[in-house]
Structure 1
């Protein structure tokens, strides 16, 4: 223990002894001392009052307030973070109230919990679990099963070896959910009083009914209400929930639904360990999370929420944590996923008077590492990893579009172009890169037709070709409707597929078309059967591309399947 900690402990114990002496001087004979066992031995040494006074001399007097809080089983347990906590309060309560048939009733309670969650727990399984627990206790030479024996038996028999249901039993049975009571006249905790003061000041009365508010952040009262709600949300007190609205896109407006719930009073008591005011408690809790969170996207998301809560000190601490994590992070996906919150802060931070300069420095560092590392990160991806990579690429694209900086835009387009032309990249990633470049008008119609011909050529594996198509078409089918070159390339590719291969690829094709709007799928069906499809082939032939002879009978046999993929009706005409 450091010298500072030793001095602090000595001061605490000296104050305890002085309090005992004060009680003795008042005439009390039987004095109960509630303290940690660590301090008990030194509290009986009451003969050296002068030394204790010397230890406490010079300390500033600070006004304090005390109150009682309702105790819960979770606070009694080690899970609360208090090292002297009770391991399993619910189990000890069960032993106290159930001296006989302890094992049978404990396993029965566990079975009731599992059944309430929709899990199978028969009476026969309960009997078998009790027998197994008794056998385990006998093997360990115990007179009766203990908690370890019962848990092993429950996991083996009732949970079929799965560990996940045991978390439910741990939380609701072994620890329990009981809540203590305090008298009505008990003073409120400081955090609750501060919240009530702010509610009165902002004329923001809590109500059990659901109410909707539209805050104009240019008004002091509305901004204060928004600030309070954001701070409480960081403390996991969801008094208000922000809503999306399509009517007002101004960054000065926030739409909230607000409803006060009874359990928020308990959460306020739990949050009081972080500070005596809402602002100080939120700032301390955010700093704690900044020191414990390891994921860069989680940190940047927390930064976004903290800026909305307007906590300058916590923001600076978070920025330092983000810089440290970003400097050592080697996961390009995490770097891309971390960009959107930072971009929103840099773009809209001035609404809440947040300095964007410090954010831009972090964004520049992340972007440089993304540009360098993305090509290598996209090599040799399986299907699941490719889906995750596409989502991260979308996040980066969203951020770059939001920041609207020419240097970043050009560098990003260069990376997308490189991925598009690289053979070792998964088809889904290449298709998405093609779509993003097309939307930015980096690729024209002729180039798109060339790329489609290459991606859908017979030399490419069919699953990769289907994945390329999915990446290209995901999100909207308008491109397929308006790009005749792409339409012809897709038609040629589908026509050349053997029937058994076509059936095998059908789920992939359905997934590629699943995001289209009904109107888009209907237009595609009309294009297939209404003649514009043939005009597209004719236009391709006139442009110099050799048109293939169409076997009408074979083409008609494909149309019902194609209509099924597109989700449109086919009447045979």
Structure 2
């Protein structure tokens, strides 16, 4: 009987290559791999050709799927090579780490105590890297281990190094790590007890000294006594190279997984192959890269390695040579190289027969049927909802989004009109597997789960806008079974909603529902009565809802009025439009309305032709009269003019009234109003500000006054010009001011 310890880095191509040769030479009859024992039954799938790394073991608590942990594997991971060897040679393989059924409980206790590992145990190799003259552990380990050509002697050297380091570091204070190593030793004893002759143990290099000499079984049993248990489930999920750069599972993370995969695939002359790939990448993007560049970069990288006393050029030397020779010291090509080659984003694949929750299987089946491949990098998808296949893809994406799985993010429509076009950006994240498991409590299929979740949200929602937004969502997701109960809930809450803001906020979503009905072939006729009732209540409440409103509340209500106005006009219903404009007119002409909101109501009535220019000018003149406090007038002007200076630029009557009112203000009042006026003018477009500025500069802007009989003081008018130039962003025009 013999136990052979192979200390490795979890994602190291040199370790993986050496481990493969060591296993071939040893021919073990039992392999123990650092990993969760709950996944022992899943290890056999590693030998299947359609389980393509990078993949990860996902372990989660079925009672709370968000409590989950990943154990990722790449093709250059030593553990993956051990799994493949065991499958190919029929060798018994077990995971020997502390089970997650216990670690979930230990992790919760550790988080509650805010325990943090000390520096040396957080990164024990940092000391050795600094002593060897390297700035970081990654570069040091890469040169020392991953690029080495030997194999069998490597593990003896790692054992010696780690023994010395752990002796210097002293006793480990981390209770979880101590329990992990106790469980590993217990697993080794069990394999020995079973009569295994050649036991291979593949574990993180740091753990090797703790497993080399076994203490008494009783001491380890005492350490593991009383561990809490929690039910845990496991499955395989796709992973990405990008996620390999993040510490996960057993705390491993590498900065350049694409480079490590390159080292795994090109053992001989890896540097030359790398520079050739760099040149090919630059050429694909129409950047200058020739064979002469590759030769020169190879020479420079070798020279840098020799100057630094390193046996061969590593990634640092190669990237420095690339920057100097191929990138002309520019960062733009380097960013491309880092993204495409250093990370080399790739998404693994997991076959359908691997055990998974029914919801995840249903989603995978729909993705396959609709020919929507799962990819880690962002891809564009433009859907035309008039095509049945495209409509099904849209429904799938909206249902996933409702369940909290944002595989697709809807983009704004550019250059296209109508409601039939939906542009999406798709990017799959490995964590979506956890989200699907968490969502499986709502149902076994995507449709049933989304419907159940929508029904629950409808029952919990207390505000009308929440319900109307949910109605829009379930229509986009084609959850027809949820429409009728949700409409009943909207009707119930709507009749009990007296708040004007809530009524107005509910309208845009419902109008969108009616708009999408034709595109999605959904009967929304019954929703028309709900919309009719809400519009009627909003019109009744509007004139009174504008009264007695504080400034902050008025600012919020302003946006709701603008959105509701667009929604009412989108309905294209003459009766609704007439009632809406009547309500706006009642609010616009009332002295009790907040001036900001009264100004916006006047603006809508003018833009929509309900008021002609003369009526608008009369209302403006009333608001700008000396009897009205200047601050009230400024608020009214903000509501009337915000977002568009065209009303002033194209109407002499409105311009003369506003300009005259400004000129009539005393200096101290104008200074007080300036921030509010500037905020209003800032919403104008640059051409509008320029046109108004030029108009203000002509004849001092004194073409009219609120009081025609009042004499104009040219010197006083000139003092206003610098402030107007600041407001409108124009340059002064040298002109002579004439008396009126």
What is the TM-score when the length of structure 1 is the normalising length?
Answer: 0.68
Structure 1 residue ranges (4+ consecutive) displaced by more than 6 angstroms after TM superposition: none
Q: Distance in 1 between matches of 2:653 and 2:510?
A: 39
Deviation at 1:528, TM superposition (A): 1.4
2:387 aligns with one of 219, 223, 230? 219
Query: What CA deviation, in whole Å up to 9, does each residue of 1:95-139 have, x standing for no partner?
Result: 7xxxxxx68x5899xxxxxxxxxxxxxxxxxxxxxxxxxxxxxxx
Partner secondary structure for residue 355 of structure 1? coil
CA contact (8 A) 1:68 1:187 kept: no
Kindly report which structure 2 residues correspond to 1:385-396, keeping only aligned pairs within 5 A, or say none. Answer: 385-396=553-564
Partner of 1:570: 732
> Do residues 182 (structure 1) and 350 (structure 2) align?
no
Distance verdict in 2 for CA 1:89–1:76, change over 3 Å: farther
1:70 to 56, 60, 67: 60
Q: What does residue 448 of structure 2 align with?
A: 280
- Secondary structure at the residue paired with 2:383? strand
Is 1:402 equivalent to 2:554 in the alignment? no
Residues 419-568 of structure 1 aligned to structure 2 (within 5 Å): 419-530=587-698, 533=701, 537=704, 546=708, 548-568=710-730
CA deviation vs aligned residue, 1:252-311 (integer Å, no higher than 9, x gap):
211111111111111000000011111111111111111111121111111111101111
Cα distance change on mapping 1:203 and 1:107 into 2, 3 Å = closer
| Secondary structure of the structure 2 residue equivalent to 1:70 | strand
In the alignment, which residue of structure 2 is the partner of 1:350? 518
Provide the rounded CA distance (Å) in 1 between the counterparts of 2:574 and 2:444: 47
1:125 alignment counterpart = none
Q: Gapped runs of 5+ residues in structure 2?
A: 1-56, 68-103, 119-230, 237-352, 736-740
1:88 shift after superposition: 9.5
In 1, the alpha carbon distance for the partners of 2:655 and 2:235 equals: 75
Contact map agreement 2:66 2:438 (CA 8 A) in 1: no
Report how far residue 94 of structure 1 moved: 5.2
The 5 Å alignment of 1:263-412 reads 263-412=431-580
- Shift in Å at residue 348 of structure 1? 3.2
- How far apart, CA to CA, are the structure 1 residues paired with 2:506 and 2:117? 46
Question: Aligned pair 1:233/2:401, yes or no?
Answer: yes
- Partners of 1:273 and 1:470 in 2: CA distance: 51
Contact 1:274 1:284 in 2 (8 A): yes
Report if aligned partners of 2:65, 2:438 keep a CA contact under 8 Å in 1: no
Mapped to 2, the partners of 1:215 and 1:447 lie a distance apart of: 47
Q: Displacement of 1:547 after TM fit?
A: 6.1
Partner Cα distance (1:197, 1:287) in 2: 25
Return closer, same or farther for 1:265/1:367 CA change in 2, 3 Å cut-off: same
Q: Aligned in 2, Cα 1:571/1:349: closer, same or farther, shift over 3 Å? A: same
1:81-160 equivalent positions in 2, closer than 5 A: 92-93=109-110, 105=115
C-alpha contact 2:690 2:730 (8 A) present in aligned 1: yes
**Distance in 2 between the 1:94 and 1:356 partners?**
50
Change in Cα spacing, 1:74 to 1:504, as seen in structure 2 (3 Å) is farther
Question: 1:268/1:75 Cα in 2 relative to 1: closer, same or farther (>3 Å)?
Answer: closer
| Structure with greater contact order relative to length (CA < 8 Å, sep ≥ 6) | 2
Is the alpha carbon distance of 1:375 and 1:183 closer, same or farther for their aligned partners in structure 2, counting shifts above 3 Å?
A: closer
Aligned counterparts of 1:91 and 1:261: Cα–Cα separation in 2? 25
Deviations 1:356-403 (A, max 9, x none): 311110011111111222222211111111112222211221111000
Name the SS for the 2:643 alignment partner.
coil
Q: Which has the higher strand share?
A: 2
Please state whether the residue corresponding to 2:526 is helix, strand or coil: helix
Q: Contact between 1:427 and 1:467, CA under 8 Å: does it hold in 2?
A: yes
Q: Give me the CA root mean square deviation.
A: 2.9
Whole-angstrom distance in 2 between the partners of 1:357 and 1:232 = 26
Contact 1:344/1:402 (CA < 8 Å) preserved in 2? no
- What is the CA distance between 1:69 and its match in structure 2? 5.4
Q: Secondary structure at the match of 1:237?
A: coil
CA contact 1:76–1:89 (8 Å) conserved in 2:
no
Deviation of 1:239 after TM superposition, in Å, equals 0.5
CA contact 2:642–2:683 (8 Å) conserved in 1: yes
Q: If you compute each CA radius of gyration, which structure gives the higher value, 1 or 2?
A: 2
Deviations 1:396-431 (A, max 9, x none): 211110001111111111111111111111110110
Q: Which has the higher helix share?
A: 1
TM-score where L is the length of structure 2: 0.53
Secondary structure, in 3 states, of the residue corresponding to 2:389? helix
Is the contact between residue 66 and residue 434 of structure 2 (CA under 8 Å) also seen in structure 1? no
